[in-house]
């Protein structure tokens, strides 16, 4: 039993899956290491000698890589035993079978790696609908084709060169592994003026101290040949690349190519780990003792996964490349600054970049998740402005987590605020008590626990204190009191800066911010219930002006909403999944009444087999009802979209109801801070409801003739016909007999 769990530690792996189908010759492994920050993204590696141990080490590297890069993604990896040069149809059959076997592993997203490419990802996407690194023709960003990882290596080299006193113009570069990573690293570095003096692949090494012609080398590889077929240079075996004298040495192929038994042969000043785990831990320590700087894999080669994550989020290739440059440059700078200040090996400094998520998860799992308030904490955590220099704050601009928590000093806060543009931002102000007292710095998890606790509303101060003490003890430090002071200060500081707003409160916030009276006809259905409960509480306490009317069904709820809107009041309601289907008859009817109101739908799957996850079939069924639909991905979008929906629905040129749709799993089960507009800002954006066209605005008059009856029934338009079918809002004419502006 111990052998099965030999890879386990407090952080993972969450899951190890072996796939074996002897009739197909299929042997593969999936390791999902840690999903605390979201579904894992990791490449599919194909080689004859891959194994479970290698897969786990690669998955852990991906966990650290995604965390250090500020991505809302966990770490995972899959490996497939086989020769990647096998016939294309056999390779496709094997990859499709492997993907199909893992079709239900929702916590893992396939990407390309050694032995696989964009075409392989297209097969997987077709098979299970879940892959990144797709061909451009399928809407993907072909990260191997554009050289995303090599682009990141170029920027890591640019920063690291300053710390090694290397001038990139004229710097000698040796590249072990001239494949998808190595050839693009060579191309980008050559464009900076570097000389590629050696390159290797599985067939051998080519060396030329004067510099190899990079474009010619790339053409040779693209034709399926070896670098040793390059016309110039000395041809040697593959191991010869290790002892080539150079300024920058880039391992870009297999794991463990530099070990204790060959590290003494390496003659370089800087190692950029283009492959995952290419240098053993012992060899890295030896190089550090020799004064050779090693930029760890999960810092230097993160370009590929950054690109993949941004593709998955719908970003463009241009945005992905810009994000890669910014994130990797900032991370490399931060790591090397710490190395220079503290004299520690780069990997130790780099792990501080990836470790906050572990500290947060360890501290928060035992407290927050026991109450079920957060099922997947998509948090990017920066514990103090000293951990990430303010000039590097822009590295976070391209990421898409639900929440970013920054515990910073007041002096740094404004600089951070001006650089971070996305909405899920929380600044916890306050000087560091431990830093000002000169005490030992508290662990990251202890600092974050207070803000996380207040953010979720899951635990109180007493439970928080227990969690912080446990966290500090797990680090073996003596900074208990200072850590506790930090956490409690963060807990107390949350209220002035952001609210702990649940899914229901987020929607209800629109009603709370709207100064007009709001009518809420409702029929509760989970997970919409919290919305209605929150509004009912506000009405009962006098915190919002409105009335809750409970009805006997969703059919009556939608009918009541339209009828109330027709009387000239502002109306809000909400439903979910089957509730929307129960109301379907009226969904088709009420848009024709031109009665504007806003309905929030918390989308849940309605097809069998029953599942909690949203597939949006409920709202898609309502596509042709005449309701305007707005679909939201975050709580901030929900709040903003409800206000936008009122302005849209109540416009005289529209006058139809609007449905604001959110998913009924992640958004309805999680909480995040939102920026609440003040009442004055809402008044400027959303003026009081103009009831023109409602039954309340129609003149009270006796019906004297059929013509008069027709005139009244068409009261939404100019009665005299002097301006045709012009809405009354635009007509200054007066109708005969009543003296009112029509």
What sign has the CA pseudo-torsion 445, 461, 38, 402?
negative
Q: What is the pLDDT of residue 187?
A: 95
**The pair of three-digit structure tokens given for residue 55, joined into one six-digit string:** 């897969």
142/126 Cα distance (integer angstroms): 16
Q: Tell me, yes or no, if 125 is annotated catalytic.
A: no
Pair 576, 603: CB distance under 8 Å: yes
Helices and strands of the chain, counted as H and E runs: 28, 21
Model's pTM, two decimal places?
0.52
E strands, 276-402, where?
293-295, 379-382
83: how many CB neighbours lie within 10 A of its CB? Answer: 12
Bridge partner residues of 380 (DSSP) = 404
* Own/partner long-range contacts of 616-625 (Cβ < 8 Å, ≥24 apart): 616/661, 616/663, 618/576, 618/577, 618/578, 618/580, 618/581, 619/580, 619/659, 619/661, 621/580, 621/581, 621/584, 622/580, 622/584, 622/587, 622/659, 625/584, 625/587, 625/588, 625/591
Of 598, 591, 596, 559, nearest in space to 691 by CA: 596
Bridge partner residues of 108 (DSSP) = 40
Which residue is it, tokens 């303010």? 390
Q: Pick the catalytic residue: 77, 91, 125, 221? A: 77
> How does 630-640 read in b/e, with b if 16+ C-beta sit within 10 Å?
bebebbbbbbb
593/141 Cα distance (integer angstroms): 46
Q: What is the pLDDT of residue 513?
A: 40
How far from 226 is each of 206, 218, 235, 501, CA to CA, in Å?
10, 10, 11, 59
Pair 267, 292: CB distance under 8 Å: no
Each residue's pLDDT tens digit, 341-352: 888 888 876 665
Q: What is the pLDDT of residue 431?
A: 32
Distance, CA of 405 to chain centre: 14
Mean pLDDT of the chain: 74
Q: What is the pLDDT of residue 386?
A: 32
Q: What is the pLDDT of residue 162?
A: 93
Pair 284, 347: CB distance under 8 Å: yes
149/325 Cα distance (integer angstroms): 10
CA-only gyration radius of the chain, Å: 31
Q: What is the pLDDT of residue 351?
A: 63
| pLDDT < 50: residue spans in the chain | 1, 353-460, 471, 475-477, 490, 493-515, 696-742
Instruction: Say whether 585 sits in a helix, a strand or coil.
Output: helix
Q: What is the pLDDT of residue 387?
A: 30
468/318 Cα distance (integer angstroms): 42
């Amino acid at each position: 039993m111990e052998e099965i769990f030999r890879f386990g530690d407090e952080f993972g792996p969450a899951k190890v899956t072996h796939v074996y189908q002897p009739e197909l010759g299929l042997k593969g492994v999936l390791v999902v290491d840690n999903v605390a920050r979201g579904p894992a993204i990791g490449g599919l590696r194909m080689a004859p000698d891959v194994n479970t141990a290698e897969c786990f080490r690669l998955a852990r590297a991906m966990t650290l890589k995604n965390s250090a890069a500020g991505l809302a993604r966990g770490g995972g990896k899959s490996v497939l035993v086989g020769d990647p040069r096998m016939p294309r149809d056999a390779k496709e059959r094997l990859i499709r079978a492997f993907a199909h076997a893992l079709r239900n592993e929702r916590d893992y997203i396939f990407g390309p790696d050694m032995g696989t490419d964009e075409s392989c990802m297209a097969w997987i996407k077709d098979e299970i609908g879940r892959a990144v690194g797709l061909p451009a023709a399928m809407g993907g960003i072909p990260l191997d084709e554009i050289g995303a990882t090599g682009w990141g290596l170029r920027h890591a080299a640019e920063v690291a060169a300053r710390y090694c006193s290397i001038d990139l113009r004229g710097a000698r570069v040796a590249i072990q592994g001239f494949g998808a990573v190595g050839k693009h690293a060579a191309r980008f570095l050559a464009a900076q003026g570097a000389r590629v003096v050696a390159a290797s692949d599985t067939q051998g090494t080519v060396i030329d101290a004067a510099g190899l012609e990079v474009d010619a080398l790339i053409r040779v590889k693209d034709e399926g040949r070896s670098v040793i077929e390059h016309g110039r240079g000395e041809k040697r075996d593959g191991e010869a690349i290790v002892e080539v004298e150079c300024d920058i040495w880039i391992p870009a192929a297999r794991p463990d190519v530099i070990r204790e038994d060959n590290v003494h042969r390496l003659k370089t000043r800087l190692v950029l780990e283009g492959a995952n785990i290419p240098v053993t831990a012992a060899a890295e320590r030896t190089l550090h003792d020799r004064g050779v700087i090693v930029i760890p894999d999960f810092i230097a080669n993160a370009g590929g996964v950054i690109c993949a994550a941004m593709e998955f989020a719908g970003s463009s290739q241009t945005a992905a490349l810009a994000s890669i440059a910014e994130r990797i440059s900032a991370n490399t700078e931060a790591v090397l600054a710490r190395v220079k200040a503290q004299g520690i090996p780069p990997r130790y400094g780099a792990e501080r970049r990836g470790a906050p998520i572990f500290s947060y998860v360890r501290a928060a799992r035992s407290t927050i998740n026991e109450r079920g308030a957060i099922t997947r904490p998509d948090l990017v955590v920066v514990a103090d402005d000293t951990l990430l220099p303010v000039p590097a704050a822009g590295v976070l601009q391209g990421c898409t987590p639900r929440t970013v928590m920054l515990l910073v000093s007041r002096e740094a806060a404004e600089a951070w605020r001006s650089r971070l543009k996305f909405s899920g931002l929380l600044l916890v102000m306050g000087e560091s008590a431990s830093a000002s007292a000169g005490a030992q710095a508290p662990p990251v998890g202890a600092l974050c626990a207070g803000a996380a606790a207040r953010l979720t509303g899951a635990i109180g101060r007493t439970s928080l204190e227990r969690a912080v003490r446990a966290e500090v003890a797990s680090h073996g430090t003596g900074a208990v009191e200072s850590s506790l002071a930090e956490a409690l200060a963060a807990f107390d500081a949350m209220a002035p800066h952001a609210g702990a707003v649940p899914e229901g409160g987020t929607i209800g916030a629109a009603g709370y911010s709207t100064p007009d009276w709001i009518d809420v006809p409702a029929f509760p259905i989970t997970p919409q219930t919290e919305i209605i409960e929150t509004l009912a509480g506000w009405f009962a306490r006098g915190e919002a002006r409105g009335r809750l009317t409970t009805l006997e069904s969703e059919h009556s709820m939608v009918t009541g909403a339209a009828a109330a809107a027709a009387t000239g009041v502002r109306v809000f309601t909400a439903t979910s999944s089957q509730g929307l289907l129960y109301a379907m008859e009226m969904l088709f009817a009420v848009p024709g009444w031109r009665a504007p109101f806003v309905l929030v739908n918390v989308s849940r799957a309605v097809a069998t087999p029953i599942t909690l996850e949203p597939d949006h079939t409920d709202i898609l069924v309502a596509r042709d009802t005449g309701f305007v639909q707005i679909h939201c991905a975050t709580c901030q979008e929900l709040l903003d979209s409800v206000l936008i929906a009122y302005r849209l629905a109540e416009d005289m040129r529209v006058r139809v109801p609007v449905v604001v749709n959110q998913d009924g799993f992640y958004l309805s089960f999680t909480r995040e801070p939102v920026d609440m507009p003040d009442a004055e800002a809402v008044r400027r954006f959303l003026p009081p409801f103009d009831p023109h066209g409602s039954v309340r605005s129609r003149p009270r008059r006796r019906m004297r003739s059929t013509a008069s009856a027709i005139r009244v029934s068409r009261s939404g338009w100019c009665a005299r016909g002097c301006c045709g079918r012009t809405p009354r809002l635009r007509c200054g004419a007066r109708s005969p007999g009543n003296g009112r502006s029509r």
